[in-house]
Structure 1
Amino acid sequence: MNKTVLVLVETVDDYLPLLEQAGYRLIRAPSPQMRADAIARHAGEIDAVLTRGPLGLTAAEIEALPGLQIICVIGAGYEQVDLAAAFARGITVTNGAGANAGPVADHAMALLLALLRDIPRADASTRRGEWNRVISPSVSGKRLGVIGLGAVGQAIARRASLGFDMSVSYHSRTPRADVPYTWYDSPLHLADAVDVLVVATPGGAGTRHLVDGAVLEALGAEGYLVNIARASVVDTSALVLALQNGGIAGAALDVFDDEPLVPEVLRGLGNTVLTPHVAGQSPEAARDTVALVLRNLQGFFGGGGVVTPVLG
């Protein structure tokens, strides 16, 4: 396939040869400066862009690429891709819905377990030669609430329900008839009904600060928050306040507002577990992600249609 792909992502390098083996020419530009230089030097050559939600693709960049036909986003979220600009040009946009759902759900459960069972502090104190046998809450039997029941949300729900005997409820825009879980019409009502609230919905203007101070208050002093989606879904200021004053028991976060910077106040709190946006990263997930990109590119340029379109 004699097409050129501008690659803005930096997390799937080991599997990019799958695209090259299929005949695609890759221009790798994983840093802001390399990205600007690549667009300036190769604008007329680029047929496709490979990006991810937080990296996006701006209206100005889209305008600067006269031959651009398709934008492939790895991961489910595409919040920083200017969809209006893309669709105005007739450019197809795809995402990676479901490709890394398993690893993200695994990580969500790992964070949940680490948070409730206080694993990081137990590990640290044991390494210091201490023997602090602190009593921590059980996970089994807890009430789990999931905001967003897409591929990731469903994978988390299955693990919690089948693996830990947790009752599962969820909030999404409309109830789903194909799942055995209880639907709530708002994050506020969901938070009021659960012990652990997991954020698994895409970012963007439509979900900004879905979890605000009122939702955290409803979750309560014995409640826990886990976010493996996008930081923008949670009001960070309200979360910090709730963590500091005992409004909630704890939070486990894989995403932050200004990555890679993590607020010092969060790093200093003892009731948080923090990881550097790695929930969706595993060799298996990277392989499956690039394979899905390849299927979308082959379907698009081959005339058969894309597999995971983002609709306007």
Structure 2
Amino acid sequence: MRVAASTGSATQGFIAKALLGLELLALAIGVLQFAFATATVQHPLLAGGALALLGCSILLVRMIPALQRPQARQHWLSIATSIVFVTLMAVATGAAHSALVTLYLLPLATVALAFGRWWLVALVALVIAALGILLGALTPATNVWGAQFAVLLFSKLLPGVAVALILGALIEQMQSAVQRISDMAASDQLTGLLNLRAFEDVLQQEHRKAERFGRPYTLLMIDIDNLAHVNEALGHDAGSQVIVSVAAAIGRSIRASDVAARVGGDDFVVLLTEADEATGGMIAQRIRNNIYASTISVANRLIRANASVGVANFPRDHLYPKELMILADQRMQQDRELRKQPG
């Protein structure tokens, strides 16, 4: 979880800087066109309005909190403003014949960077193509349905669309790879459950929510009985099968909102969100029953696992997560000793 959080934070920081850079680049090109290529600016007021629109958007989107969350809203506002800016500047500097039409690459690149979805780039490209036809309609002596205009439109827009599509597909693959790495870093390879490090992050988050909203939660510590004996008698492959079977039984026993992790060779921990002591005890017994009901066939022998379970509840037992885990572990050991006693 720490890997995922730090990677996601770094990625979002890079994307924010990159998008700001693209917007500033568009603004700088527009200012240079307006200031030093005055002969090409046929409608100065329109060009000035476009520059003011983009400049205000860059400032306001980053100053007003309501425009920043969720981040997708901020990105789409920036994309829409950039498209309007390029369209207005193109109209002011020659419409379809304007050199600034190629700036449509910038909002397309923004879509690719912000969302990493090639099909979103394609959808925005269709909108830009429609605007290109509109620019053609505003250009004197231009037949927007003729072959000459189609060649002009493709030559100005298609390279940028192709680059943005490739960029979107590449970023999508990179995001998938990062997610897989994050999942591997947070998961136990044998069972697919969370590992201890990732579980502790989840527990801290749940504890903060429980404190803030006054909600209970319960921790269960689970230990497989006599796993060492299985390893000695039947081999470590059989022991691994028992561990996988127990993990599956735990998964069947808990709710979708609960979180399970493997924290050692034969130890598991479960976080039962918004669960009081009675609910925790009921789920603990369900886990015991499901583990015992699961049988594993190894070398023509049926193995039936047993487990010891300890239960600790917040806020009834302790106020801190580590204390709860220690208490649940102690109660799990007590549960094992009690079941060893005859009668």
Over alpha carbons, which structure has the higher Rg?
A: 2
**More strand, by proportion:** 1
TM-score by length of 1: 0.27
TM-score by length of 2: 0.25
**More helix, by proportion:** 2
